[in-house]
Amino acid sequence: MKALLLRDLRLAIRAGGGFGLGLAFFLIVVVLVPFGVGPNADLLSIIAPGILWVAALLAALLSLDRIFALDFEDGSLGLLATSPLPLESVSVIKALAHWITTGLPLCFAAPVLGFLLHLSPDAYAYLILSLLIGTPGLSMIGTFGAALTVGLRRGGLLLSLLVLPLYVPTLIMGADAVRRGADGMAATTPLMLLGVITLGSIAVLPFATAAALRVNLR
Amino acid sequence: MSLWEYANPKKFMDWTAPVLPWVAGSAALCLSVGLIWGFFFTPDDFRQGSTVKIIYLHVPAALMAINAWLMMLVASLIWLVRRHHVSALAAKAAAPVGITMTLIALATGALWGSPIWGTYWEWDPRLTSFLILFLFYLGYMALWSAIEDPDTAADLTSILCLVGSIFAILSRYAAQFWSQGLHQGASLSLDKEKNVSDVFWQPLVITMIGFGLLFLALVLLRTRTEIRMRRIKALHARARRA
Amino acid sequence: MPDLGTYAFEILMSYGISLGLLGALICVSILQSKRVKAALQQVENNG
């Protein structure tokens, strides 16, 4: 398992692995928003939690189709399926690798971009915390979507159509936690519900992911 | 003789052929009676005026939109567990019907909301859940049409339907948490029978039965089409091998 | 025709949209069914 994780991480960091791509995309989306809505600081600080979360979501979406596609093409996914490691564990490892390469950097980049959007000072802790809790769930859900579409040649667009509705609960809770934090209210409830969604996804989706992979490898 | 024998494609074609016209006919009957009764012969509501007439489309469509997804969920489970091809095809056949019902519910809801709530659209939990349901239907249908091998498509869409159901329910409660609703709860509800007077309730029941029968008829018809398409494919494949 | 009052537009629109959508769905389903049925007959007769 560890070997697989290290291999995936190394592949992602190597040139062409798209390691920095998600992060750059996140940066650009967030920077584009003020151009769209105008430089009004009050308005920006109101919509900042939502923008940061939506941008994080899109950035996480960007690199999803890489999770299985390359392994599927060169046949190493088939090897993994016949290895003693169950496919359920493989999918968890894949999701973890995706999270380390995209989710985790996002958590640390988000506060910096918060400055640009005049995010209220109280909200930073909640922003980092909610992203830390929420993004593993996003990676797991995305891995499931990637497993569904791995056999398709043009899976990318379909993948986003399938995965984005699944992201809704996470987005609602995550952005709500930050918004409550910004308003100085207690944000424990949305944070806990966010944790529920993430943990639930990690508990259930590996089985669905593995099932989808087995179908696609048939 | 077990219930499952009806799921044999040949058997399914045999027993649905005589049943389908009856289902379709009674659907047409119920719908015309219910809608004409509702449209022409019901009084205006004292609070909503004549907009109450929209209820005869909105409520049954919303009901069927959810029930269609439930039916797809059950059919997907049957496919995954017992691998009856008809079941998978029925789920595929139901999706376009379900998405149409969702659209009707959204459109009539928006038109009803504009005079009563003063807005066509409001990010209210129920409206939002329906929008999300619409997206789920879209994704489901897109996945069906994207995969060529029918068995793979059936498997993957079934898995998506199961996972999607969980997330649809999650989204519904998340949306409730996220925004306090404008939509009627129990206090003002038109959906709850205890609050609707018989004048409105009777035609509504008839239209609900009508929408149900219409859904059934359409699913049967579309499933028959899907079975025939599958057969054409099989015959072509056989011809190519010969 | 009942008196719809000020809301005539909304009500007629909802009935129009709904019946239009349902009608379109029914037409598409029936047409598709007919087409496939004919195609199947053709394939079976040839083979």
Per mean pLDDT, which range of A127-131, A166-170, B188-192, B217-221 is the poorest? B188-192
Confidence of residue B193 (pLDDT cuts 50, 70, 90): very low
Nearest CA in chain A to B128: A168
Mean pLDDT along residues B184-190: 45
Mean pLDDT along residues A116-123: 83
CA distance B161 to C3: 45
Structure token pair of residue A147 = 């497993």
Question: Is B188 part of a structural domain of the chain?
Answer: no
Domain count, chain C: 1
Asked if B159 lies within 8 A of A212 by C-beta distance, the reply is: yes
The answer on pLDDT for B194 being more than 50 is no
Question: Is B95 part of a structural domain of the chain?
Answer: yes
**What's the distance, CA A136 to chain centroid?**
7
The answer on pLDDT for A126 being more than 50 is yes
Asked if C25 lies within 8 A of B100 by C-beta distance, the reply is: yes
How high is the pLDDT of residue A143? 93
How high is the pLDDT of residue B59? 87
Structure token pair of residue A206 = 């590996």
Using alpha carbons, list the distances in angstroms from residue C1 to B37, B39, B40. 12, 9, 7
Domain count, chain A: 1
B81 in contact with A, Cβ within 8 Å: no
Nearest CA in chain C to B44: C4
Structure token pair of residue A124 = 């930073």
SS3 call for A18: coil
- Residues of chain C contacting residue B115, judged by C-beta atoms under 8 Å apart: 6-7, 10
Residues in chain C: 47
- Asked whether A71 and A77 are in contact (CB, 8 A), the reply is yes
The answer on pLDDT for B159 being more than 70 is yes
The answer on pLDDT for A18 being more than 80 is no
- Residues of chain B contacting residue A146, judged by C-beta atoms under 8 Å apart: none
Mean pLDDT along residues A88-94: 89
Confidence of residue A16 (pLDDT cuts 50, 70, 90): low
Domain count, chain B: 1
Structural domain span for residue B158: 20-179+194-241
DSSP output for B17-63:
HHHHHHHHHHHHHHHHHHHHHHHHS-PPBTTTBGGGGGHHHHHHHHH
Asked if B174 lies within 8 A of A168 by C-beta distance, the reply is: yes
pLDDT (tens digit per residue) in A144-174: 999 998 878 777 788 988 999 999 889 988 8
How high is the pLDDT of residue B179? 66
Asked if B170 lies within 8 A of A148 by C-beta distance, the reply is: no
Question: Is B1 part of a structural domain of the chain?
Answer: no
Question: Is B143 part of a structural domain of the chain?
Answer: yes
How high is the pLDDT of residue B187? 38
Using alpha carbons, list the distances in angstroms from residue B202 to A138, B33, B206, B225, C40. 47, 11, 7, 35, 44
Structural domain span for residue C20: 5-46
Confidence of residue A208 (pLDDT cuts 50, 70, 90): very high
Per mean pLDDT, which range of A60-69, A150-159, A205-214, B193-202 is the poorest? B193-202
How high is the pLDDT of residue C47? 57
Structure token pair of residue C44 = 């079976």
| C and A touching (3 or more beta-carbon pairs closer than 8 Å) | no
Confidence of residue C25 (pLDDT cuts 50, 70, 90): very high
CA distance A92 to A14: 21
Mean pLDDT along residues A195-207: 92
CB count in 10 Å sphere of residue B3: 6
Percentage above 70 pLDDT, chain B: 87
- Non-local (6+) Cβ contacts of A137 within 8 A are A170, A194, A197, A198, A199, A201, A202
Confidence of residue B160 (pLDDT cuts 50, 70, 90): very high
Single-letter amino acid, residue A163: V
Per mean pLDDT, which range of A72-86, B11-25, B38-52 is the poorest? B38-52
How distant is the Cα of C34 from the closest Cα of chain B, in angstroms?
Answer: 8
Q: Half-sphere exposure of residue B205, counting CA atoms within 13 Å on the CB side?
A: 8
